[in-house]
Amino acid sequence: MENNKSLEAYGYQPFFANQDTEGYSIGRVALEHKHLYRIYTEDGEWLGELSGKTRYEAVRREDYPAVGDWVKMTKLLGEQRAIIHGVLERKSKFSRKATGPTTEEQIVATNVDRVFLVMALNRDFNVRRLERYLVLAYESGAAPEIVLTKKDLCEDLEARLREVETIAFGVPVYSVNSLADDGIEQIAASLRPGETIALLGSSGAGKSTLLNSLYGGQRQKTGGVRDGDDRGKHTTTHRELVVLPSGALIIDTPGMRELQLWEGSESMGAAFHDVEELAAGCRYTDCRHKQEPDCMIRSSLADGTLSQERLTSYIKLQKELAYNERKIDAGAARAEKERWKKIHKRMRDNSNH
C-alpha cells in the first residue's frame, strides 16, 4: 500500500466529511483482528486499538469498529499506532444474525455502495438462498448486483438467468468465468474510483477468484471444490478492504455457510414486491390466502404467475424476521439497561474523586 493517498481514494464522501471530527485524525478500517485494526489514512497504514473510554462505553457489537468503518483517532507519532475514539455514522451496514443460539448481530461490512451477491452456477446454485441475500442487501442500504460465477460448469445458462430474473427484478446480473476472465470486463468497466463494493456469497462461490480477476493478479488465496457436492473450500478467513488498481475498493468476506436474517422488514417489500403487490390486490386487507374469495395470491398460484416455492420462501422469511424481532427487542432492552449501569457507575466514580 503506497503512502500519501487522499481520504477520497479510500471512499471518503461528503456524508462522512460533514460529521464532527474536530481534533481527530480520520482513517478507514481495512482489517480487524481481535480488537486491533489496520487503518488506511492519508499518510499510510496505522495499527489502531480502542481507547479505554470507547471500549468501556461499547455495549453492542455495532458500537465497535468494523471493516469499512471510518474512525476518529489520535496517532501515536513514531510508532505507527493509533488510539480509536469513535466510529463515524455509517452510510450503510450489511448485518446478519450471528451463528449460534443467541440473537446477536454480526456486522459483515459497512459503508458499502454496491453489494455483489456471488453465486456459483454449479450444483450449489440456489435461488431461495439468493432471495435471502437480496433481503439483507436491500436492508443494508447498498445497491445489490448479482454475479453468477463458474458459468463454464453450467449446462443451461439461459435457464439459470431466467430463474434469477424472476426473483431479482431490475437488479443487474453478470455471468462470469473468473478463471478465464470471461465476462469480467463488463464488471470491471462498471467500477469507479473511491466506491466500495462488498463481495458476499457462500463458501466456494468464487468471490476470491473474482477479486483476483478484478485486481489483475493473485491477491487472494483460492481453493478448489469438494468432491461430491460442488461446495467450495473455505479460503477467505477474514474480512478485508482491498484497493483495486482501478481505484475502486472491495471488501472480500468469508463464505457464509449459514445466513440468518438480522433485520429486514422494510426490505421484504423490495425483495418480494411481486408477492406484496399481489397481496395488496386481495379483496380483504387481512386475507390469509387460504379460502377467502378474490384472493390474488391463490389465483396467481393457479395460473402460474406466482410459484408455490417463492410464496413459501416469502412466508418463511417473514416468520424468521418476526421471531428475530421479538428476540432483538428483548436484547436491546438488556443492552440499554447495561449501558445505563455503566453511565451511573462512571458518574459515581467521578463524584468520589
| Numbered residues of the known binding site for GTP | 149-152, 201-209
Distance from C-alpha of 67 to C-alpha of 106, rounded to nearest angstrom: 12
Distance from C-alpha of 147 to C-alpha of 184, rounded to nearest angstrom: 10
The DSSP letter of residue 252 is: E
Going by the annotation, the residues of the binding site are 149-152, 201-209, 282, 287, 289, 295
What beta strand segments (E) does the chain contain?
25-33, 36-41, 44-50, 70-76, 81-87, 93-97, 105-110, 114-120, 143-149, 173-175, 196-201, 240-243, 249-252
* Residues 138, 144 contacting (CB under 8 angstroms): yes
Concatenated DSSP letters for 23-87?
A: TSEEEEEEEEETTEEEEEETTEEEEEEE-HHHHHH--SGGGS--TT-EEEEEEETTTTEEEEEEE
CB-side exposure of 58: number of CA atoms within 13 Å? 17
Helix count (H) and strand count (E) of the chain? 10, 13
Concatenated DSSP letters for 194-207?
A: T-EEEEEE-TTSSH
Going by the annotation, the residues of the binding site for Zn(2+) are 282, 287, 289, 295
